[in-house]
Amino acid sequence: MKLWTMSELPLILNPEGRFPGLIVVDHAGTSTPLGFGPLGLSEHLRDTHHFCDLGIASLAHALADRLDAPVILGTVSRLVIDLNRWLDDPRSIATHVEGQLIPGNQSLSDAGRKARQDQIFWPYHAAVTGLWNRIRTRHADPYFLALHSCTRHFDGQRRPWDGGTIWNESPILAHALLGALESGGGLALGDNKPYTGRNGVYTLDRHTWGSGYRACGFEVSNDLLGTPKGQADWTARLGDALASLATVELRR
């Protein structure tokens, strides 16, 4: 597998991969670059879904290998800046987590906020745009998948879904992906679950809205990605499903 790094962010796998699509992973890392100052949080929070989408980086690397797919991963923690939020969304740079203040974000100046946007947020989305444009020139009908994991327990409730789609403009890719996964059986899947995308999904909307290209997000419950077996199972499931939805060019 070819590996290409662009400074610290983002990480790009298989930029010239043959797979006719792009897998984007906004919340793959826990990096908190020293240049932006400490967040001031307890170290144990690094091992929670608040810092990143647990298990998703390993799954994305495995899918890149299995499919020869171009994959782009955000490597900075979402608590530094969330790559999948509008910049005017209060959650873009969160000020609280699990009821605790985030000292390094609570008192962030306008200049500090702009520095995170200029050095992390905008370069990441410029890289996504550049890679997506390259893929579109190589393939007639590529698709765009935003890959995430989510926590099984949230706000005192257990979520029943093992995986779920996220979409806003069109359900075409989401419904096809659900159909491909359901053919394997044994999974609890949801459409626009556990989060609905109908109120807007930043990365998907920014890069595909109005383009006519197939696009959706997919979330895997992170308790299913906590072991090598769980990651291998989901690599096989998603790998087979995504390959089945690819254009005929891949199957030649």
The residue among 18 and 3 whose pLDDT is bigger is: 18
Tell me what pLDDT residue 156 has: 81
Mean pLDDT of 202-206: 98
Confidence of residue 47 (pLDDT cuts 50, 70, 90): confident
Q: Does the pLDDT at position 249 exceed 80?
A: no
Q: Look at residue 1 in the predicted model and tell me its pLDDT.
A: 41
- The answer on pLDDT for 131 being more than 90 is yes
pLDDT tens digits, one per residue of 63-96: 999 999 999 999 999 999 999 999 999 999 999 9
pLDDT confidence band for 162 (50 / 70 / 90): very high
User: Which residue ranges form the domains of the chain, and what is each CATH number?
Assistant: 3-247 (3.40.630.40)
59 pLDDT exceeds 70?
yes
Q: Which residues, 6+ apart, have CB-to-CB distance to 155 below 8 Å?
A: none
Mean pLDDT of 157-179: 96
pLDDT confidence bin for 251, thresholds 50/70/90: very low
pTM passes above 0.75: yes
Cα(146)–Cα(144) distance, integer angstroms: 7
* pLDDT of 188 above 50: yes
Q: If pLDDT is split at 50, 70 and 90, which confidence band does 8 have?
A: low
The CA distance from 131 to 138, in Å, is: 11
% of the chain residues with pLDDT over 70: 94
Q: Mean pLDDT throughout 100-113?
A: 92
User: Residue 96, SS3?
Assistant: strand
Q: Residue 250's pLDDT is what?
A: 45
Taking each helix axis as running N to C, give the angle between helix 228-245 and helix 172-182, from 0 to 180 degrees, rounded to the nearest 10.
120
- The mean of the pLDDT values for the chain is 92
Burial of residue 68 (CB within 10 Å: 0-12, 13-18, 19+) is middle
